[in-house]
């Protein structure tokens, strides 16, 4: 990949990586007294732009994950992966690129 191709690719994925970064931060701040799905829906409803990358938005909107329990399983998997990364890396959140690639 040359510099021009790399810059073109970065311009395409940068907005999604920014959303992923915002999502990781928001996930850590979700209300612990409700489900992650309810917290996500509530937070998303108050934002002018989505707080999650498009791929996650599409996954949560798909017919395959229509039930709240199925959607919660997605959040559980993300939390487990993030926590495992943090345990192995001194408590640091994973890079947005890592979480985004896991969602693809």
Tens digit of pLDDT for each residue in 14-64? 999 999 999 999 999 898 888 999 999 998 888 888 889 999 999 999 999
Mean pLDDT of the chain: 92
User: Nearest-CA neighbor of 40 among 81, 68, 21?
Assistant: 68
Model confidence at 86, pLDDT cuts 50, 70, 90, reads very high
**Is 76 in contact with 40 (CB distance < 8 Å)?**
no
pLDDT at position 1: 83
Measured N-to-C along each axis, helices 68-88 and 96-103 cross at an angle, to the nearest 10 degrees, of: 140
Model confidence at 91, pLDDT cuts 50, 70, 90, reads very high
> From CA 60, how far away is CA 66, in angstroms rounded?
8
**Is 60 in contact with 68 (CB distance < 8 Å)?**
no
Domain count of the fold of the chain: 1
Could you list the residue range(s) of the whole structural domain that residue 31 is in?
3-103
pLDDT of 95 over the 90 cut:
yes
Strand, coil or helix: what is 22?
helix
pLDDT of 78 over the 90 cut:
yes
Percent of the chain with pLDDT over 90: 73
Burial of residue 22, with CB atoms counted within 10 A of its CB: 0-12 exposed, 13-18 middle, 19 or more buried: middle
**Is 36 in contact with 27 (CB distance < 8 Å)?**
yes
pLDDT at position 69: 94
What is the pTM (predicted TM-score) of this model? Answer: 0.86
């Amino acid at each position: 990949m040359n510099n021009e191709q790399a810059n073109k690719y970065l311009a395409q994925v940068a907005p999604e990586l920014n959303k992923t970064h915002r999502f990781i931060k928001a996930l850590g701040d979700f209300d612990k007294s409700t489900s992650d799905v309810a917290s996500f829906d509530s937070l998303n409803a108050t934002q002018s732009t989505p707080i999650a990358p498009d791929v996650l938005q599409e996954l949560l909107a798909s017919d395959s994950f229509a039930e709240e329990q199925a959607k919660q399983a997605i959040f559980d998997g993300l939390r487990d992966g993030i926590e495992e990364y943090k345990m192995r890396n001194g408590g640091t959140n994973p890079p947005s690129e890592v979480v985004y690639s896991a969602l693809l």
